[in-house]
Each structure stands twice: as C-alpha cells, then as structure tokens.
Structure 1
Amino acid sequence: MCDSSSDSESTRHNLDPIALHDDNKSINSFNTFKTEQNNENLSLKITRTETKKSLHELGISSDIPHPDINNPPIPNPIFPEEYNLETSTGLVPVKTLESIGRTKSEPIKADIEFVTFTINDPENPHNWPMWLKWVYTFVISMFVISAAYGSSCLSGGLFTINEKYNVSTEVSTLTVSLMVLGFAVGPLIWAPLSEQIGRRPVYFISFGLYTIFNIPCALSPNIGGLLVCRFLCGVFSSSALTISGASLVDMHTDKTRGLSIAFFSFCPYSGPVIGGLVNGFISIGTKRLDIMIWVNMAFAGVMWILISLIPETYAPVILKRRAKKLRKETGNLNIMTEQEVTPQSFKEMVNECLVRPLKFVITEPVLDLVCAFVALIYALLYAFFFAYPYIFNKLYGYEDNKIGLMFIPILIGAGLAIVVTPIFEKKYATICKKRKPKPEDRLEAALIGAPMPCIALFILGATSYKHIIWVGPASAGIPFGFGMVLIYYSLNNYIIDTYAKFAASALATKVFLRSAGGAAFPLFITQMYEGLGLQWASWLLAFVSLAMMFVPFIFYKFGESARGKLCKEDYTV
C-alpha cells in the first residue's frame, strides 16, 4: 500500500495473491479489472483513497467537531464527519487522519480505512429528491399519529370495558395509563437497537409486534390480559414516538429540517385527540370493545406496511452495509466504519440508555425543569380525555360520540401552531447568520405558547356552567392545542442544544418523565372533578400551569448563567 498521507493521489493496486503498486495511472474508485497471467485468471482490484490534501479541501482539520445527534455512540471518535461527509473516493484511511492530527487514546490499526458517502451519493438520504423526502415525512408523521392514536383509542369507550369485564372506571382507565407507561419503557430498547441495526428493521419488528398484540387485546377473556397486552402495545409502538424524529433528521438538511420537525411536533399530540374523537362514535354505535381495537389494528397494520417500504435512513447503518459489501468485493478486511472499529460495549450502552438518563433526573435541575413543563403539557392532554367526558356529560348529557367532537378545537389550535412555526425557524436562521446561536434562542416559540394552557384551563373552568352553551368550554381546546405544539417544538430543541454532548440521554430523560406524567394524570382526574367541582378542578390545573408558565421566560432571560451554575458541565460543546 502506498503512503495515503501524501498530497499526491493515494492509490492501491491489490493483486491477489501479489500486491502491485503503480502511482502513475489514473484510476477510479472501486474499479475491478480482470487480467490473465500465465493462463491463470487473477482479479486486479484498484482502490483510491482520500489524501491529506483532499481532506483539507473538504474542510477537515485537526479539530474534532462534536458528533451530530444522529451519529452512533462511539467513545471519543476521531472522524465524526464520516456519516455526513461526501468524498470523491469514499475511503478515508486512518493513517491520513493521523497525519492531520487526529489521534485517539486507544490506537487504531493504521491500515484501517473508513467508508464515507461519495459525491452526490444516491444512497445518502440527504441527496434524495425533495418531493420524495416530503412523501416519506408524511408517512412517518402518520406513523407517529398511529401509535399515539392507539394510546387513547379506548378512552372514547371506557363504559364498554366496564360492561364487558364488570370493572369500575378506575380499572378501565388503566388501559390508557399502562399503554402510555409503555411509552416510557420502550425507548430503552428501540433507541439503542436502531443505532445498531437501523431504523427500518426496528420499525418492522416493533410495529409488527404492536399490530399483532392488538389481537389478544380484542380477544382477552379477562381484564388482566387486556391490561398486560395494552402495556406491551405501548412498549412496541413506542418506537414510532422514539426514533421517528431521528428519521426526519436523517433525511432533511438544515434548510428543511426545522420545518419537518415542526410538522412532526403536531403528531404525538394530535394522535391521541383523533383516537378519542373516532372511537367515541365507534363505542356508541357498536357498544363493542373489540371493534375499537380492530380499527386500531387496521390503522397500525397499514402504517406498518407503509413504514416498512421506506428505505433505511440511518447513515451509519447504510455505510456499515457498504463496508461489508466492499470487504467482500475487494477482499480488504480493513475497510470499516468507525462504529465497527470501536463498537459501543454493553456497559456503555446501558449507561447511555438507562443510567445517564436516570442520573440526569437527579443531577441536572435545568433539564428537570424543562422536562417537567413538557411532562405537564403531555399530562394535561391525557387529562382532557377524562375531564371532557365528565364535564360534557354532566352539563349537557353528551355521550362519547358527541364528547369526541369537543376535541376538534384542540386539533385546530395545533394546526395553527404548525402555521406559525416556520416564522420562528426563519428568525432562528437569521440569528445563526449574525452570530453563534445560544440554546436560549430556541425558546422564543415557548414564550408565546407557555401562557396558552393556563388560559385554556381558566376558560374551561369559567365556562363550565349549564347556562353556557357547549361552545364555551370546547373553545378552550384552541389555545391549549396552539400552546401545546409550540411548547413541545421549542423546548425539545432547547434540550437538544443545551445537552448537545449527551442529547440522546437528555431526550430519553424527557421521554421518561413525559410518559410518566401522561400515565399518572388519567388515574385521578375524574375523582378530582368529582371532589372539587367543574370549575375549581380546572382552575387548580390552571394555577399549576401558571406556575410552570414562567419556566421558559426564566431560562430565556437567565438561562446562560443558570446553565453555568446548575449544569455539571458545559454540554453545549
């Protein structure tokens, strides 16, 4: 092998069984020639690799940038650009990286060559046609809605569970809470697995199991079986809520990423609303639990098929497969990705996915406050699924079908939020052009959205009287839906930017706390409204929302100094 660190083109002519060198020939990447010598057919494999000069031209220096959030978990990587860089040859030798000052505490074999995408590589998701990216974005968004729909689909007909299994509403409410609790457990499995085998296999396995486990839910002979299967449905379907956002980041570049994530922010919160709306009519029209579950299974099954048709989007897995193919074609076993060279150990995986997120709950008050606000909004959404039936049945005698219609204003509000989020994205892009952005720059949308849940709950309490037409309490859903999406969109970005070094762990903390809140609130909301009355129950939640409303304002004003004092280290770099 010739010296790959020289500024001249680095070429290798690998002749099996004899290695030959010819630096004077112009060659193309990965060309294979057949030659005949002494009446024997020998395979001549010629490979060109990147040089010190070509890496400098691509902007690669001795400074190792922080890995992107979607990079695989590699301890102290020396080439984090591997997964989003396009080179002319597709191979970057470790020797060349070392020649520009890239070093690692544990030395890597000098003859290892890292695989990258090539220029305008069709397998690079960033190079897919824009129309195709948005088609996939729509499918992924519907996929998320499908999982969220399933979490609340039984809330529109709890009486059918009560009648079938002869249980109280407190017990039937667990069918919702346990599935949401499964959302907290599932990410511990699917997130790390997607980093090893890819998004597509995880979607196929997990959502296939989710679709199948709707069958025992529909046919369960007792309430215990239903509750266990609902929890498992939450675990299996949580892959959609856990890694779908990452799939969008895999495909979209900075120009369209913000808009796609803004659109995606609508889905985890609108899905439960649609579930309550649709199944209210099913439960009243059929009075059968199994029909609600079969409809959910049909929705999940269609989305399972569609999501399985989307190609793999995770660059590390795409490159890992390419490296395997090149090793087979060239016989060079040193062609790898950095993830293959330094794989994450089981201990490191447990730390990344379980220990550190739980540790953050104890050690990071900044993250706790932000996640607490996100968890409150998510919990309030699920609280509405049990507060609305009580309010509208008591005031107007509505059954689940008409009560489901009362959720439409929440969807309207959420849709309005999608309309305004591009404004915040453009403003953030302008800031990035003028100066280096701070995590607090992400909070402007939350400043608008934060007061909305409080306003919504005060409206709900003030209009919960028999002499006021149903439009009054139903209209509370518009500001709630509007604020809900803006808060989630803004605070999610703030968490990523604030904890960039361990963004995956910080987001896991958020998912855990959010799901815990969503699972807990339904268990006491009905009793709270019975005990405090229609007005004061809503106003109590409004006062809690009022207190939490100041979180984004405080961090917007004092966030930089607060992070310096309260965070254990500067995670933004």
Structure 2
Amino acid sequence: MSLHSTTSASRDAGNDLEMAMTTEEYEREYEGAAIEPVASIFSTDKKYAQLEWDSPDDPDNPQNWSAARRWYYTFVVAWMCLVVTFGSSIYVAGATRMVLELGVSRVVAFLGLSLYLVGLAFGPAIAAPISETQGRSVVYYISIPLSMLFTTGVGKAQNIGTVLVCRFFAGLFASPVLAVAGGTIQDMWPMHMVGLAMAGFCLAPFAGPVLGPIIGGFLEEKKSWRWTMWVLLMFSGAVLPLIASLKETYKPVILKRRAKKRGLTLPPSMPPGQALKLLFSVTLLKPFVLLFTEPIVFVLSVYMAFVFAVLFGFFEAFPYVFKVVYEFTPGQQGLAFLGIGVGLLGGTIFYIYMDRKHYAPAMRQPVFPAAESRLLPAKVGAVALPIGLFWLAWTSKKSVHWIVPILSGVPFGFALILLFFTVITYFSMCYPAIVTASAIAANNMARYLMAAAFPLFTIQMYNKMGIDWATSFYAFFALALMPVPWVLERYGARLRAASRSNKQARAAAAQAAAAAAADQQETEKESDVSSSN
C-alpha cells in the first residue's frame, strides 16, 4: 500500500468472487485523489483534459525532480504541519497562569484550546477552493502568516475575550496547511513511494501536540503564559523562509500557467460560481451526508474521533496525574508525554516496514488486492489502545514508580498512528476520488470537533471518578471499539458494494466520460470538415 493506494475490488454479498481492478484501471480512475478535503474535482474539465506534460521527462513535473528536492519539500510541509498542531497544545501549558492573571475559570481558559481545534475542523473549507484553482503554494504563503498575526493577538491580549477570538482565527487560518500538505506529497512521489513519504510526513502533525506540553511546561515554570505564544511564533517564523522557496506542485495549475505563457487558447472551463459551489459541497455538505449514510465512514470517523479526543484530553489529564500522584513540576509534567512520542515513532516505523515489505510490492501487481488486506495495522492498533489506557489507569499510584505510567503512552501512541494511517488508507481504497475526499473531510471534522470537547470536562471527570476509573472509562470505550477492524474485514466488501455514494460517483464518472468522448468525436468531425474544405 501507500496511504493513497486503493482498489475497486468488491464482493457480491452472496459469493466470494472479487471484481478486481487492474493496476492500469486503478491509476486511471484514482489519479489525483490526494490526502486532502478535495481531490482533483476538475479532472474531467476539458480545460485540463487537453493539457499534459511535454514528455515523460518534463522537468516541470514534480515527480521528475531530484530525490533530494522532493525530500526537502516533504520536510518543509511536514514542519508546517508540526507548527500548526504544536500551536494547539503549547497553549495548554499557560492555562494555569492565565487563570490567575486574567481572573477566569480553568474551563474558560481551556476554551482557547477548544476554539483553536474548531478552527482546524472548518478551515479546510477555505483551503479547498484556493488550492484547487490557484494551487497549493499560495495556500502556504497565506496560511501561516495570517495565523501568526492572530497568535500575536493572543500573546498581547489583556482579556479572555481577545484570547478566545484570536485563538479561533489562529486555528482557522492555520488549518489550510493540514488540508493541502498531503496533496503536495502525492504530487511529487510516484505511487509506490507515496506510502513511505506519507508515513514519515504524517508523523509531524501528531508530534506537534506531544511536543507542545514538553516545551510549554518549562515555559510555564520559567516564563509567563504569553511566552507560549512567542515560542509558537518563533517556530512559525523559522519555517517562513523555507515556505518562500517552495514552487507549485499541483499539475493542473502548473500546466494552466504554462499554457498561458505559451499563448495557448484554452476552452472555457467550469464557471467560477459553479466551481465554488461544488468545492464547498465536497468540503462541508457532503462530509455530513457521508457521516450519516455511509456505515464505513461513520464507524471509522467515530473511532478516530474518540482516539484523537483522548489525546487532547490527556493535555489536562497528564498534568493532573503527575502533579497529584508524583508531585511533578510543570516542566516534568510535560516530559510525561515522551512515552506517547516514542509510541508514535514506533508505530510509524512499523507502518513503513509493512508498506515497504508488503503493500508497495502489491501495487506493482497486475491486479490490486482487496481493501481489507490493509487492515492489519488497525488490528494491531485496536489491541494496543485499551492496553495503553488500562496500563495508565491502574499504575498511576504512589506505590508504582513514575516511569511505569509514562511508558503507558508507548502503546497509546503506537495505536494512534496505526489507526490513523489505516483509516486514511481504507477510505481511499473504498471509494472513488471525490467520495474519498469527502470521507476524509468528514473524519477530519469529527476528530477535531470531538477533541475540542474533551478538554472541557476531563478534569471534572478525573476529580469525581478518580484517576483509575476515569482512565478506565476511556479504556472500556476503546475495548468496545476494538472489534471494528475485524468487522470491516468480514463485512467491508458488502458495505462497499451497497454504497450509494460509490454508485453515484461511478455513474457520474461514466456520464462525464461519455460526454467527453462525444465532445472529442464532435471536434474530430469539425476538423475533418475543415480539412475537406
């Protein structure tokens, strides 16, 4: 696999025959389905259909760039994503001092985290129209600087109202990076390498939330809460020169710009109003529809939303546990997240091994394997998740050394990254490109919206239930969700075969192909008439 690979293999509910797609058919149908809210929805537009690279070795094609340059671009977009998610968690470290300085409750102070996450949930609706029509690089040029302005507003704020408003807009304007970055990776790497590049890249958005409490804890000890924002600005400012060095990677935009430079006349494309309407339906309306009409999207979105929400709930739970039980200082409390960081790294290495050893070679076969063949990492993660949570619940005691509950973060982080990789993979293997885009957008919104809610009640839950039973509550929920990968292995093909969205997308694609063929025949007839005259 790669994170982007897919299949149209499906099983009839009554037999074991697979309707498998060849590699060539797969590449034709799913080309351009990037890991972002919108996936090349203009691909059937005549304007783009008539544009192609000059040759297989075209130097403007990002996949022909040197490996060093492509890894450099991968590093830069990964750093941007790390900065965005780092901005979510570093704020938490200053919440205690903010409570004292601004005279607000802890719940109100933590709204700054929740509103940032709400901004991350809905920001992709901004990124989609821009990236699809103007390219990916312009999103990077605008997103981080605008977010930095509102981060500065938080650091300068004299009241909680200013803090909360600026935090929402900082998240809103930072989030387009998360929406577009996966598409940049897919632009540059051939299909058999996307899994490796994407696995390494996807570690960054998860490393950001873990890194935030580690740095923020020491800032709370030595500096004021405002320094959490100044350090975030330093991280953001450091990446700005690198952003300026990035060139466009999105094929339709590159070819359109080149055609204009060459003075080529392009056929009229989709009207702007219609294009924007389609884009917003994919990023806002369609995801909500899929959540409630597609069992696969609903179940996996709920699963990932829960895991992600527990991670953000830990931003309150970990400081509580290690302060109450082990009397850690704020800086030491942040270091407790290192266990999760080790788990994230281990999970990424495990997934890369699976990709290189099993999934990438399968992509070179004449026929793609069934989507359910990619569920093994999710099975491992589903087992590791409750283990990590029960481990934390029943070892957080004064009679147990502090390293033991810290190490519980290893299986938790391991599970988190493996489940995330598998969900994105499975979506892209279950649905055509445009449906995949909406499914990923639905998952994204569910994750951040639920994560925004958990920090608001975590401390109250731990106070009333105790560390052991509060964490066990999460663990029992994880235990209830554990069978999901096995259920999908058994019934996933039937669900795909019955999917209304799949049928509609394929029907629309067939209709568009027929219309394109008719246009081509008409053009050829007109050309023949002109030649005969």
TM-score range, shorter chain: 0.7 to 0.9
Shift of 1:129: 0.2
Residue number in structure 2 paired with 1:164: 101
1:456 to 1:340, Cα distance in 2 relative to 1, 3 A: same
Number of the residue aligned with 2:32: 68
**Residues 11-30 of structure 1 aligned to structure 2 (within 5 Å):** none
Higher strand share: 1
Aligned 1:41-190 pairs, distance under 5 A: 65-70=29-34, 72-74=40-42, 76-77=44-45, 82=49, 92=50, 114-190=51-127
Change (3 A) 1:121 1:524: same
CA deviations on 1:251-306 (whole Å, 9 max, x unpaired) are 111131100111122122110110111010011111x1221111101111212331
What is residue 547 of structure 1 aligned with on the other side?
A: 480
Matched, 1:225 2:162: yes
Q: Deviations over 1:81-124 (max 9, x none)?
A: x5xxxxxxxxx5xxxxxxxxxxxxxxxxxxxxx34343311111
The question of whether the paired residues in 1 share the 8 Å contact of 2:203 and 2:348 is answered with: yes
Contact 1:186–1:239 (8 Å) recurs in 2:
yes
Q: TM-score, normalised by structure 2?
A: 0.85
Name the amino acid aligned to 2:235.
F
**Within-5 A mapping of 1:144-543:** 144-286=81-223, 288-327=224-263, 332-334=264-266, 345-425=275-355, 426-432=357-363, 433=365, 435-501=367-433, 502-543=435-476
Distance (Å, rounded) in 1 between the aligned partners of 2:28 and 2:226: 56
Measure how far apart 1:434 and its partner are: 6.4
Q: Counterpart amino acid of 1:358? A: F
Please tell me whether the aligned partners of residues 192 and 353 of structure 1 are also in contact (alpha carbons under 8 angstroms): no
Which residue identity does 1:427 align to in structure 2? H
Task: Give the share of equivalent positions with the same residue, in percent.
Answer: 33
What is the Cα deviation at residue 340 of structure 1?
Answer: 6.8
Contact kept in structure 2, 1:500 and 1:571, CA below 8 Å? no
2:492 corresponds in structure 1 to: 559
Q: Show CA shifts across 1:10-47 (max 9, x none).
A: xxxxxxxxxxxxxxxxxxxxxxxxxxxxxxxxxxxxxx
Cα distance between partner residues in 1 of 2:41 and 2:234: 36
- Letter paired with 2:246: I
422-431 or 198-207, larger mean C-alpha shift: 422-431
1:185: Cα distance to partner? 1.1
Q: TM-score, normalised by structure 1?
A: 0.79
**Residues 530, 139 of structure 1: CA spacing in aligned structure 2 closer, same or farther, 3 A cutoff?**
same
Query: In structure 2, the residue corresponding to 1:468 is in which secondary structure?
Result: coil
CA shift, 1:567, in A, is 4.8
- Structure 1 residue runs without a partner (length 5+): 1-58, 83-91, 93-113
Deviation at 1:212, TM superposition (A): 1.6
Q: 1 CA distance for matches of 2:456 and 2:271?
A: 48
Whole-angstrom CA distance in 2 between matches of 1:339 and 1:353: 21
With over 3 angstroms needed to count, the CA separation of the structure-2 counterparts of 1:65 and 1:540, relative to structure 1, is: closer
Amino acid at match of 1:304: L
Change (3 A) 1:518 1:363: same
1:122 aligns to what SS in structure 2? coil
SS in 1 for 2:375: helix
CA contact (8 A) 1:203 1:304 kept: no
Distance 1:497 1:308, change over 3 A: farther
Q: Distance in 2 between matches of 1:278 and 1:416?
A: 22
CA shift in 2, pair 1:66/1:261, >3 Å: closer
Contact 1:379 1:514 in 2 (8 A): yes
Corresponding letter in the other structure for 2:244: S
Q: How many residues align?
A: 476
Offset at residue 541 of structure 1 (A): 0.3
Q: Distance in 2 between matches of 1:157 and 1:342?
A: 44
SS at match of 2:262: helix
Shift in alpha-carbon separation, 1:512–1:60, aligned structure 2, 3 A: closer
| Structure 2 residue identity aligned to 1:347 | K
Partners of 1:366 and 1:567 within 8 A in 2: no
CA distance in structure 1 between the partners assigned to 2:341 and 2:331 by the alignment: 17
| Structure 2 counterpart of 1:6 | none
CA pair 67-137 structure 1, distance change in 2 beyond 3 A: closer
Cα contact 2:46–2:269 (8 A) shared by 1: no
Contact 1:198 1:312 in 2 (8 A): yes
**Contact (CA 8 Å) 2:107, 2:456: kept in 1 or not?**
yes
Gaps of 5+ in 2: 1-22, 507-533
TM-fit CA distance, 1:497:
1.6
Question: Is this contact kept in 2: 1:266–1:415, CA < 8 A?
Answer: yes
Of the structure 1 ranges 416-425 and 478-487, higher mean CA displacement relative to structure 2 is found in 416-425
Deviations 1:305-359 (A, max 9, x none): 31231111111111111111112xxxx424x6x8679995332223222221121
Alignment partner of 2:324: what SS? helix
Deviations along 1:182-209, one digit per CA (max 9) or x if unpaired, are 1011011112211111111111111110
